[in-house]
Amino acid sequence: MAFFADEARITHTHQGNRQTNAENNEESAAKKKQATNKKLPSVSVKDWELMLVNKDNPAPDSSMELVELESGYKIDKRIKTAYDNLLQAALKSDIRLIVLSGYRSLQEQEAILATDTEDYMAQGYSESEAKKKALDYVATPGCSEHQTGLALDVLDDSWYQSGRGLETDFGKSKGGKWLAANCADYGFIIRYPEGKEAQTGIKYEPWHIRYVGVESARYIMANNLSLEEYIDQLKSR
């Protein structure tokens, strides 16, 4: 009986060791990833993925090659594979991402701003007040990331089918949380993070993702940066 008891203790010890080793390996991998994310990537602000577009940096004239998604929206061909991989990863977590906007021309951006301004005016705001409120979420025409082909507005289909749209509460939903936690692994960032309005000039948009490349995306998201702050770090290196 003593033999079997000892054997049981040995087996239990081995199982415990295996579990401990697995936990140590996971912890080591997590620490390694965290350390990697803290190291400023060896990239250049001149890289096409890091094109900075905001109210102070208009979208440059670009000869990008656009490709059409199944939804009919278009994006820069260079990010198509990365976006497809993001979609597939989301599906594995029972999240079906849908696109509500991709590439937009200057004329389309002007039309969106005009429509949103009219909507606010219908609520009783003056024209100047209405335009100011519209610009909280709509970039000034000529200064929109959507003109780069590198940005998309996406939602979880279940959220959308429930009658919800581009709302900040999307960030609290299952799809919104998954997107924020995983988009960086496919080269995307939440372009307009909460609390970074002073840097971006745009209010929190948990649905707006922007391609910057995997290495940069992981660093930006892990360190809670806006793209503007990241570009500043790269320039001061």
**Residues belonging to the active site:** 205
The separation between CA 144 and the C-alpha centre of its own chain, rounded to angstroms, equals 16
Distance between CA atoms of residues 223 and 216, nearest Å? 11
Tell me the CA distances in angstroms from 5 to 13, 14, 17, 18, one per residue in order. Answer: 12, 14, 18, 20
Using the structure block, give the residue that is written with the tokens 């594995």. 92
The alpha-helical segments, DSSP class H, found in the chain are 2-38, 80-92, 106-122, 127-134, 157-161, 174-182, 197-200, 214-222, 227-235
Residue 154, strand partner residues: 99
Q: DSSP of 1-13, one letter per residue?
A: -HHHHHHHHHHHH
The β-bridge relationship of strands 74-76 and 66-68 is antiparallel
H and E: helices and strands count for the chain? 9, 6
Q: Give residues with Cβ within 8 angstroms of 13, minimum separation 6.
A: none
